[in-house]
């Protein structure tokens, strides 16, 4: 235990926090986003951690509503990169995002029409409320679909004054105000006066989460970076990680092991 990097978490769980991405971390990657579900025992493992640590949160690009349905209200849930959060079993929209609801609905409607006109089998538009994602994972020719759909996304971004953000096999359209997992991690770590913070991610959009941990480390906090490995995990995420886990099942086992080393909060 003396040289264990998780020692500060285990010895002082009342001031420690754990932040998790969802897709690729707590759930296997699937072709259709609506088909995703938490890995076996993931919900129970999250609840066990929440019973022991001061803060346990899932911070995802997904909508907070579906995450609430799958994971329950025993943890903090931050959806669409922090534009949504759950509170007492309800989903709340950020005050910074609310003014853009109507605009993003118009952009999404336009995107759905353009994608439908293309007739690319497997391409789909996922509505997240104040954001949406154009997916091409399930298309036959991903390279061609990527090129065409990125062009559409860029045209929409320029025409409506919104932001197009490349994702894993997808392009996300966001309102012109920044929302990021890194913001949530920094905000909640400081608000909760944490002394130790861990973040578990698997994608290029999780690199800013690692940046947030670097910022907190410079502020004197203990940090721990976990990367979940797959064929799509960026090498930089793996390089910067303190621990690499081989998929959501391994993440759940790690969570269970960590929970078993910490007594329930009195």
- Quick one: CA torsion of 115, 118, 120, 126, rounded to 10 degrees? 0
Q: Please give the pLDDT value at position 128.
A: 87
Neighbour count for residue 49 (Cβ, 10 Å): 22
Beta bridge partners of 174: 163
* 243-245, strands of its sheet edge to edge: 90-93, 84-87, 76-79, 55-59, 16-20, 196-201, 222-228, 243-245
> ∠ at Cα 174 (168, 177), nearest 5°?
125
Segments in the chain below pLDDT 70: 1-3, 266
Q: Please give the pLDDT value at position 39.
A: 96
DSSP run (H or E) holding 166:
strand 163-167
Residue 111 φ/ψ region, left for φ over 0, alpha for ψ in the -120 to 50 degree band, beta for the rest: alpha
Q: Please give the pLDDT value at position 168.
A: 82
**Cβ atoms of residues 162 and 174 within 8 Å:** yes
Q: Please give the pLDDT value at position 14.
A: 96
Residues with catalytic annotation? 21
Neighbour count for residue 58 (Cβ, 10 Å): 27
Q: How far is CA 214 from its chain centroid?
A: 18
Q: Please give the pLDDT value at position 124.
A: 93
**Domains in the chain with CATH codes:** 7-94+179-260 (3.40.50.1000), 98-174 (3.30.70.1020)
Q: Please give the pLDDT value at position 3.
A: 64
């Amino acid at each position: 235990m003396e040289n264990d990097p998780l020692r500060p978490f285990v010895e002082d769980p009342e001031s420690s926090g754990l932040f998790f991405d969802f897709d690729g971390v707590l759930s296997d990657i699937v072709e259709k986003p609506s088909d995703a579900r938490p890995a076996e025992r993931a919900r129970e493992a999250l609840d066990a951690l929440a019973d022991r640590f001061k803060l346990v949160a899932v911070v995802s690009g997904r909508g907070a509503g579906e995450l609430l349905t799958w994971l329950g209200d025993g943890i903090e849930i931050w959806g669409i990169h922090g534009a949504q959060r759950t509170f007492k079993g309800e989903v709340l929209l950020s005050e910074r995002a609310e003014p853009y609801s109507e605009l993003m609905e118009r952009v999404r409607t336009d995107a759905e029409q353009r994608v439908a006109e293309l007739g690319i089998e497997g391409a789909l538009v996922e509505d997240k409320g104040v954001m949406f994602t154009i997916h091409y994972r399930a298309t036959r020719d991903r390279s061609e679909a990527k090129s065409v759909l990125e062009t559409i996304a860029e045209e929409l971004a320029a025409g409506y004054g919104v932001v197009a953000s490349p994702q894993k096999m997808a392009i996300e359209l966001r309102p012109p105000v920044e929302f990021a997992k890194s913001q949530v991690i920094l905000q909640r770590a400081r608000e909760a006066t944490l002394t130790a913070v861990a973040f578990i991610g698997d994608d290029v959009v999780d690199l800013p989460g690692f940046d947030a941990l670097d910022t907190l480390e410079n502020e004197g906090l203990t940090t721990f970076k976990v990367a979940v490995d797959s064929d799509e995990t960026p090498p930089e995420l793996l390089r910067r990680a303190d621990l690499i886990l081989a998929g959501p099942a391994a993440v759940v086992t790690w969570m269970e092991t960590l929970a078993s080393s910490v007594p329930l909060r009195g």
